[in-house]
Structure 1
Amino acid sequence: MASQAITVPEGLTLHTENTSHILLASDEAFLNPVQEFNRDLSVACIRTWSECLNEEKENKWKESQERRAKRPENGSRAKKIKADNQATSSVGPTAANEPEHPPTNEAVAQAEPAVSEQASATTTRKVPEYRPQKITILEALSATGLRSIRYAKEIPLVKYVIANDASPAAVAAMQRNIDINGLGGPEQPATEETSQLAKAEEKPFPQPKVQINEGDACALMYNHRTEKSRVDVVDLDPYGTAAPFIDAAVQCVNDGGLLCVTCTDLAVLATLNYPEKCFSNYGGVPVKAEYCHEAALRLVLHTISTSAARYGRYIQPLLSLSIDFYVRLFVRVFSSPSEVKKAISKTSTYYICTGCQASYEQPLGRVVERVHEASGNVNLVFKASTGPTAPEKCTECSQSLHLAGPMWSGPLHDPAFVSKVLEHVEASEDKYGTSARMKGMLTIAKEELDTAFYFTPTKIAGHFHSTCPPLDEVASALLNAGHQVSRSHACAGSLKTTASWQDIHDVFRSWVKRNPVRMDKISENSPARHLLSKEMKAEANFKRHPQTVTASSKVKLVRYQANPTPNWGPGKRASGGKRKREQGDEE
């Protein structure tokens, strides 16, 4: 539908995003245009996941067909013999039971077409084909309905979307916006004629592509927690924390389904200003360090993991991103009590140095593999980890340590899935207004190392009171020492590495050896003195490594949000008087 064809009533404004259009009033529901990147990314991820899901189901279906073809067909043969006997009896008697009066020529002529028709039916038997499975999406906190509308219009395998909000004003706005996009309308009334037609064609009555529900988000999701009523995708995009909705969400999503979560309360998740609030919402203590935004992702994943584990379910993070003023996660949820046991080994607390920000991991549990000598079977034994993994003071700078977590210590991304999303975006650049930034962030996420926390050379140089070495030289030094290096999507100019904090600091000690610092400017009790006083294990080689991370201008420019408008950011809650705290806002 072209935007010119939409009549804009007085008091409303028209907002167009991709092929979708919505009419907005200032007091109905909140929309933040800056969140177009969030919506674009969500469309791309859900679309890619739905295709992956159908690929998995089609492979299982083919395997089932192959097994069925290899089964002994005794029952089928018996039925075929019976059918052949019936066909023969319709043509004429067998030689053993030939009647005294043979059939006339007319009777034989009538029987011959019957044999031909039966043979034709046998030879033209329809070969079974796999039918792609359509998915259902539940957006628990819909506000304007823009996200649900885009899902319905831009994801080919969508059966329908449930758009929910508890605010009557938001529901009215949703209904108006769904109608102008041609996705709504009442259900067709059932008549005897349409019922028989639908039954004959095995098709349900036409339903609205976006179905509106007015009510409590958790109550709606709990109503969908039985196995037959579960949905394939649950999207949580609230104003602030998603914590109150996660328990219901992990129960109402199908086995292998997708859970999409946004949290905008980074003042709680990414600072140490409100540790008690972070613990009450996410069951962990945040990190006070430059890598606090990655820790925020791990705290939310910990909440989802523990919530799912209560119901015999476990999670597989597909893509976990820290973006501007919020975090956005795409997580698959599976049912498997045996896999749930492994969650303890993917959960850790961390000791964080208050001086140099070095981190020391303390896993909560570990998995031990025991191989049976006779059978060769591998048994998994789950044990508590020993500890503590850190002394009372930091071994690098002798400063005190803060405790953070527990939080998720497993992978943040599934590189294979991210690669597929990236391929889709590259092939569909004209379909996403933020495709350039999507490509930049997805590229970094795909290459990001599966290690906890990143660092920036500028911050480490500050700890040494030295000049800052170029990013590529730090990366090359670590690579030349045999370590792996990547960038982090969560912070500009950051690096992730398999090297220890001592190895990282040795690179900067080598840099200081070439570029001396003024020790008379450093106080005796400064952490810098402790860092500089330690001996290096080996001198760093700063020669450019061929695999070094290059600060590509293309990736750098599209990765970080340029200020699109003055005072952009999370925005304020909609001013509608009846709007409840739980309501989702398209921020």
Structure 2
Amino acid sequence: MTMATVQQPIVVPEGYTLHTENSSSILLPPDNQAFLNPVQEFNRDLSVACIRTWSDLINEEKEKKWRQGQEKRAKKPQNGKGPKSKRTKTGDGAASAMTEGTAAEEVIDRATNAELDPSAGVSTTEAASTEAKIEKQKEYRPYKGVILEALSATGLRSIRYAKEIPLVKYVIANDLSPTAVQAMRKNVEINGLAGRDAPQQESTAGTPHNGVRKPIPPKVRVNEGDACALMYNHRAEKDRVDVVDLDPYGTAAPFIDAAVQCVNDGGLLCVTCTDLSVLATLNYPEKCFSNYGGVPVKAEYCHETALRLVLHTIATSAARYGRYIQPLLSLSIDFYVRIFVRVFSSASEVKKALSKTSTYYVCSGCQSFYGQPLGRMTENVHEATGNVNLHFKAHTGPPVDNKCPECSFPLHVAGPMWSGSIHDPAFIAKVLEHVEMSEDKYGTHARMKGMLTVAKEELDTPFYFTPSKIAGTFHCTCPTLDEVASALLHAGHRISRSHACAGSLKTTAPRADVHDVFRSWIKTHPVRMDKISETSPARHLLSKEARTDANFTHHPDSITASSKVKLVRYQANPTPHWGPGKRAGSGKRKREGEDE
């Protein structure tokens, strides 16, 4: 039975404000005591779509595992006695039928024989019940997961998860603020998710034939307490949850250690960080290091390094407990980053994190970058058995001298940070397919399609550049995006756009080859050298000749799939003075987090 709700008119108390988003409506308390930023609707829409896609994915994985188990049991020879009846933990939401089938069949056989021998002691009723149980065990029950939102504020995000994601068992909505918790309870009630005692549940849903009403548990379970304490209480394997959502005001760093421990194997961790003044600038390198264990960059690709710094923190936090991450989607959006990763346990995979971590030397003049991996991994195949042995060693370095090979300016050190993949294109394709089929379910579907399409196409290489920035460094007129992309493609390199910056390109070409494209461009678009300072990086860049002549004629692959259609990728100003918003009021005690 599903919980039936009757939509009652919402009475707005004095001082409260009614906010409606998709199918959910909430009451906002006065004085901003439970923070909600309407601009973050895109964040919430994206989260619903990603968690829903992940829930379908893990359900498919568990169903496949369940069917393999069924096939294995069917092929297992029977010795007449049948194995001992027991349950095996499968995590698929249904009791394992590994051994119970044989024992139950014996009950049915004894019931049949009871007609001839009353001493068999098994009634036909019991046999019928057992037979029905066997039939039920032969059907896979869809896996429904538990979501924990550690910093819920108004509860809007948790309410949307409960109402819009079909494969959700229940959502734990937590906040430290008593005012926010009070608002949450009221909002859960008016959305019909508070369980059987909610005022609007006066229908006969869950009522059996004897007229006794069956209790209906709440779909959103509200908790008041410290977020880390709550997550640490769920770190035991039997208590873990399937999805953890961290959406704090500012950095998520204090909550990551607890989060990576309390999520199930294959579970989803969703992280938002809004402290881009720390992550994406060199204003507070000491603060970035204390929060994320790395140093940011001062360069146009600073928003991608912000993503990689957060991924580094999650990866190293998970590795301490024998766990590793698989990034599914990592987006830099407006004033924050939003990251979705799966968490698994594997001692061998944890070792690979060393080769997926790098420091970078970044030029202060032309913004060229040079990666220094912390470790390297080699594979040796055993000739006799064909087994693959992995060996991990420290990497050699440094990759360059103390000055940039391109412009001779000093290099700054950034990182360590995650240097592996930041997206899973196959997962993004499934999210995109869901969004395209459910446009009416998401108010920001146009931007979702744009961002996801670009992210799906992104090259698995670090950092991007914009032609306008490099043209500014050379003091030359700027070629078009198509001309630069075509020149790189004609030279045998690959290109893509980046979701993090308008007018940007990612490429497999080293920065020296990119500079050669501009040197070729300058041959037909001269630069006035008398206008360039002797100490400018342009002097050094222009003193070198291009090793090859670039071909700027249009290349058919210079226009990617995301460029062939008009897609909304970057936020238009939704309201005057929009941005991160003001921190929530204190209420009765200090606020811990927010729902942005």
Kindly indicate whether residue 584 of structure 2 is the aligned counterpart of residue 584 of structure 1. no
> Cα offset for 1:411?
0.4
Q: Distance in 1 between matches of 2:107 and 2:214?
A: 37
Residue number in structure 2 paired with 1:45: 50
> Cα offset for 1:584?
2.1
SS at match of 2:339: strand
SS at match of 1:405: strand
Corresponding residue to 1:462 among 472, 475, 492: 472
Q: Distance in 1 between matches of 2:314 and 2:493?
A: 32
Contact 1:24–1:173 (CA under 8 A) maintained in structure 2: yes
- Cα pair distance change 1:241/1:555, threshold 3 Å: farther
Corresponding residue to 2:339 among 326, 329, 333: 329
Corresponding residue to 1:65 among 67, 70, 77: 70
SS at match of 2:268: strand
SS at match of 1:62: helix
Q: Distance in 1 between matches of 2:153 and 2:468?
A: 41
SS at match of 1:559: coil
Q: Which amino acid aligns with 1:375?
A: T
Residue number in structure 1 paired with 2:61: 56
- Runs of 5+ consecutive residues of structure 2 not aligned to the other structure: 83-101, 119-123, 199-206
Which one has a bigger Cα radius of gyration? 1
Alignment of 1:109-508 (within 5 A): 128-185=138-195, 206-508=216-518
Q: Which amino acid aligns with 1:285?
A: V
Q: Distance in 1 between matches of 2:192 and 2:111?
A: 55
> Cα offset for 1:149?
0.5
- Cα pair distance change 1:478/1:516, threshold 3 Å: same
Q: Which amino acid aligns with 1:12?
A: Y
Residue number in structure 2 paired with 1:537: 547
> Cα offset for 1:186?
7.0
Q: What is the TM-score with the length of structure 1 in the denominator? A: 0.89
Contact 1:477–1:541 (CA under 8 A) maintained in structure 2: yes
Q: Distance in 1 between matches of 2:351 and 2:589?
A: 41
Contact 2:326–2:342 (CA under 8 A) maintained in structure 1: yes
Q: Distance in 2 between matches of 1:488 and 1:5?
A: 45
Kindly indicate whether residue 25 of structure 2 is the aligned counterpart of residue 21 of structure 1. yes
Residue number in structure 1 paired with 2:89: none
Contact 2:519–2:546 (CA under 8 A) maintained in structure 1: yes
1:179-218 alpha-carbon deviations (Å, 9 max, x no partner): 1111115779xxxxxxxx99xxxx9952111101001000
Kindly indicate whether residue 36 of structure 2 is the aligned counterpart of residue 31 of structure 1. yes
Q: Which amino acid aligns with 1:442?
A: L
Q: Which amino acid aligns with 2:43?
A: N
1:473-515 alpha-carbon deviations (Å, 9 max, x no partner): 1001111111110000000000000000011111111111111
- Over aligned residues, Cα RMSD in angstroms? 2.7
Residue number in structure 2 paired with 1:95: none
Residue number in structure 1 paired with 2:98: none
SS at match of 2:549: coil
- Cα pair distance change 1:244/1:144, threshold 3 Å: same
- Cα pair distance change 1:285/1:82, threshold 3 Å: closer
- Cα pair distance change 1:572/1:356, threshold 3 Å: same
% identity of equivalent residues: 75
Q: Which amino acid aligns with 2:15?
A: G
Corresponding residue to 2:570 among 548, 560, 581: 560
1:80-103 alpha-carbon deviations (Å, 9 max, x no partner): 8998799568549xxxxxxxxxxx
Residue number in structure 1 paired with 2:579: 569
Q: Distance in 2 between matches of 1:533 and 1:556?
A: 41
- Runs of 5+ consecutive residues of structure 1 not aligned to the other structure: 93-106, 108-113, 189-196
Contact 2:195–2:216 (CA under 8 A) maintained in structure 1: no
Q: Distance in 2 between matches of 1:58 and 1:82?
A: 28
SS at match of 1:440: helix
> Cα offset for 1:543?
1.2
- Cα pair distance change 1:319/1:82, threshold 3 Å: closer
Aligned residues: 552
- Cα pair distance change 1:244/1:552, threshold 3 Å: closer
